[in-house]
Amino acid sequence: MDCQTAEGMVSRYIKHDLPLNELEEFLDHVQNCSSCYDELETYFIVHEVTHQLDDDSSDSVLDFKKLLEQDIRKSRRYIRKKKVSWLMFGVSICLLIATIAAILIFVMMETNYIL
């Protein structure tokens, strides 16, 4: 991914509006590209400040850099969790197919279609 693409995704990242594959590529890029990370940080701070003003909460977090790091970690965890659930889904499908195949073979042997 190049910087232009990554910069175009910044606002969608902040709104948590990126599909999983783009989210992962985006995170890979910003974590290795300081200029895009700065860009993300700026947008993130602006977003958080407006959000906290709207919220009018007294316990607003002022350490935005830490907040962004937390957000990135959360996104990474989200990607991992999704990947694991896809893997589990794939394994279940394989098991299901194997079970059906075994039943079919058993039925065919019982009814002498094989042998």
Q: Point out which residues bind Zn ion (CB under 5 A).
A: 3, 6, 33, 36
Closer to Zn ion by Cβ: residue 10 or 36 = 36
Rounded least distance, CB 38 to Zn ion, Å: 10
Q: What are phi and psi of 17, to 5 degrees?
A: -120, 20
Rounded least distance, CB 71 to Zn ion, Å: 18
Closer to Zn ion by Cβ: residue 23 or 36 = 36
Closer to Zn ion by Cβ: residue 39 or 71 = 39
Distance of CA 65 to the CA centre of its chain: 21
Residues 6+ apart with CB under 8 A from 16: 75
Picking from 66, 18, 13, the residue whose alpha carbon sits closest to that of residue 39 is: 13
Rounded least distance, CB 36 to Zn ion, Å: 3
